[in-house]
């Protein structure tokens, strides 16, 4: 059994906030997969049970407000006699550009109060799906930014991201995190994200993006050596500095 948690704040006032992208992602999964039951309230949360990739899955949206999200997650984990490794949490990440997704197990909270609360209730050894919303540019603007609604232009990346999360929830259930992230990257940017999964990721067959791990700027640099003067004072000076010209 896997519990997939989406973080957010309850109520219509907050439903379109950037801080509620975790709720939005779990709602998208619920809509896409017909096996899930209607939402019901328990564990201080809204929950729904269903099946993805032959695995029983509980979708959970804490209704305690963000800062106390761990109460609901902890209650559900204890009720179903699960381990932190059975918990996957989807939430907003300021330190990722809009539409970018990163997955990790354990680690710090990054200042996210919902994650801090879950850490306090169940420990840190659960999977975190960080959904990038971008940063407003200064710490003073963070609260207003995350509690503000997504702008109309954000739908260009937000809708493909949510659709792809829902369509590929089976990869999340199976633990195929690399392919899950790659498909979201491709849906949001139109580009293959295999080389973006980490420094050790090889380029995908047929990729036109160049060697893995190199930026487009580095690839664009000319490889040919510049022409140097062969005669005259400047040539003599360069020969003294660089040594005899390489025969190759």
The answer to whether the CB of 13 falls within 8 A of the CB of 94 is: no
Type and span of the H or E element at 70: helix 69-79
Orientation of helix 69-79 relative to helix 113-122, angle to 10°: 30
- Cα–Cα dist 232/186, whole Å: 55
Q: Which residue's entry shows tokens 């709602």?
A: 27
Q: Do residues 5 and 90 lie in contact, with contact meaning Cβ atoms separated by under 8 Å?
A: yes
Of 19, 30, 33, 121, the active-site residue reads 19
Looking from the CA of 201 toward its CB, the CA atoms found within 13 Å total 19
Q: What φ, ψ does residue 40 adopt, rounded to 5°?
A: -140, 155
Angle between the 177-189 and 155-167 helix axes, to the nearest 10 degrees?
A: 150
Q: Examine the residue annotation and report whether 19 is marked as an active-site residue of this protein.
A: yes
List Cβ<8 Å contacts ≥24 apart for 106-114: 113/66, 113/67, 114/7, 114/22, 114/62, 114/66, 114/67, 114/69, 114/70, 114/89
Interatomic CA distance for residues 171 and 180, integer angstroms: 6
Q: What share of the chain is helix, strand, coil (3-state, %, to 5)?
A: 40, 20, 40
Catalytic residues: 19
């Amino acid at each position: 059994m896997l519990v997939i948690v989406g973080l957010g704040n309850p109520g219509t006032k907050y439903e379109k906030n950037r801080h509620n992208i975790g709720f939005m992602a779990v709602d998208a999964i619920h809509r896409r997969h017909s096996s899930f039951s209607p939402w019901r309230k328990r564990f201080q949360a809204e929950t729904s049970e269903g099946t993805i990739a032959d695995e029983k899955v509980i979708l959970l949206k804490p209704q305690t407000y963000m800062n106390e999200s761990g109460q609901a997650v902890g209650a559900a984990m204890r009720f179903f006699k699960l381990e932190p490794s059975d918990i996957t949490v989807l939430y907003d990440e300021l330190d990722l550009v809009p539409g970018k997704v990163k997955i990790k197990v354990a680690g710090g909270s990054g200042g996210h109060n919902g994650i801090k609360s879950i850490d306090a209730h169940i420990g840190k050894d659960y999977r975190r799906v960080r959904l990038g919303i971008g940063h407003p540019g200064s710490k003073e603007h963070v609260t207003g930014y995350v509690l503000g609604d997504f702008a109309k232009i954000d739908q260009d990346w937000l809708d493909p991201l949510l659709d792809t999360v829902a369509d590929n929830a089976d990869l999340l259930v199976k633990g195929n995190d690399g392919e899950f992230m790659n498909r979201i990257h491709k849906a949001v940017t139109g580009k293959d994200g295999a080389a973006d999964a980490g420094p050790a990721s090889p380029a995908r067959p047929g990729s036109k993006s160049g060697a893995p791990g190199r930026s487009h700027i580095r690839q664009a640099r000319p490889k040919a050596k510049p022409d140097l003067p062969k005669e005259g004072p400047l040539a003599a000076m360069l020969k003294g500095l660089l040594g005899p010209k390489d025969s190759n």
